[in-house]
Homo-oligomer: A and B are copies of this chain.
Amino acid sequence: MNMHSTKQTDIQIDHILKHNQLSVTDSRKKILELFLQSNGALAHGDIEKKTGEKFDRVTVYRTLQVFMEKGIIHTIPTADNAVRYALCKDECTEGHHHDNHVHFVCNACGNTICLEEVHVPEVKLPKGFQPTEVQMIVSGICKECH
């Protein structure tokens, strides 16, 4: 058994890129594969490490930028300085993200996990405040590290 992508995911990756009018290149395939493999979120640094220095730093930056613009990934805010990225669900289109689920950051393994099944609860804001997006980040110890 190998650790490489199956034909299944290859087809999936190809489809996502073409569907977003992006050229299918090695770097984009590899980075997208990383996101599909990890159910959690990835920081820029993680990606550089996991691709094994195969691609230039600049390429990784630009790939993440493009994926953001196309609505393939979204950012997750964190209290430390590291911005993390995670895959968007299908409903996400260019500029419009609908990832209203809770994110969990594990203090032990450092992983950020999308808790798809946990919805962000409603909150009542003071008069005059008009919300457009709500982010909820829970930190602690994850399932695996428990």
Contacts and interface: CB of A to CB of B under 8 A. Distances in A.
Interface stretch (A7-15, A23-31, A55-63, A118-126): A118-126
A117 interface: yes
B139 A132 contact: yes
Interface of A: 75-81, 83, 102, 104, 107, 115, 117-118, 120-121, 123-144, 146
A126 B141 CA distance: 12
Contact of A117 (B83, B121, B126): B126
Contacts of A136: 120, 123, 134-137
A138 B118 contact: no
Contacts of A126: 115, 117-118, 143
